[in-house]
Amino acid sequence: MDISFEGLKVMVIDDSKTIRRTAEMLLQRVGCEVVTAVDGFEALAKIADHKPELIFIDVMMPRLDGYQTCAIVKNNKDFADTPIIMLSSKDGLFDKARGRIVGADEYLTKPFSKDELYEAIRQHYKKS
């Protein structure tokens, strides 16, 4: 499977170092430029600078959780169209519905496979 997302700017927001590292490694392998953040506050500080084209957000984070972070990003007119993919260890219907309500485009259950990660990007990343 020859996949390339060359030059795609992706942000990964997760308080788990393991998840950040794994996602970063998998994304860089297919040519993505990756910016990571440990929580919503750090992410919001970095988003304006880096202008990611796609964002992965962990649901459960301290201070500002994934739903709050997603809602803030989607409410900013500059990033309202940026695809956001929620990452969660819970795959309940309620969690997925809550993700949709705050504007998430997709919901991946952790641990995710590299194929699921790439497929989520393929579905939501539109080359302009």
Classify residue 58: in a domain, yes or no.
yes
pTM of the model: 0.94
Q: Is residue 2 part of a domain?
A: no
In a domain, 81, yes or no: yes
Q: How many domains does one find in the chain?
A: 1
Q: Which residues contact 52 (CB under 8 A, 6 or more apart)?
A: 9, 10, 11, 35, 82
- Helix (H) and strand (E) counts in the chain: 5, 5
What is the residue whose two structure tokens read 């695809």? 83
CATH at 51: 3.40.50.2300
pLDDT of res. 127: 58
Structural domain of 48: 9-124
User: For residues 43 and 40, what is the distance between their CA atoms, to the nearest angstrom?
Assistant: 5
In a domain, 4, yes or no: no
Q: What is the pLDDT of residues 65-108, one digit of tens each?
A: 999 999 999 999 999 999 999 999 887 889 889 999 999 999 99
Is residue 128 very low, low, confident or very high in pLDDT (cuts 50, 70, 90)? very low
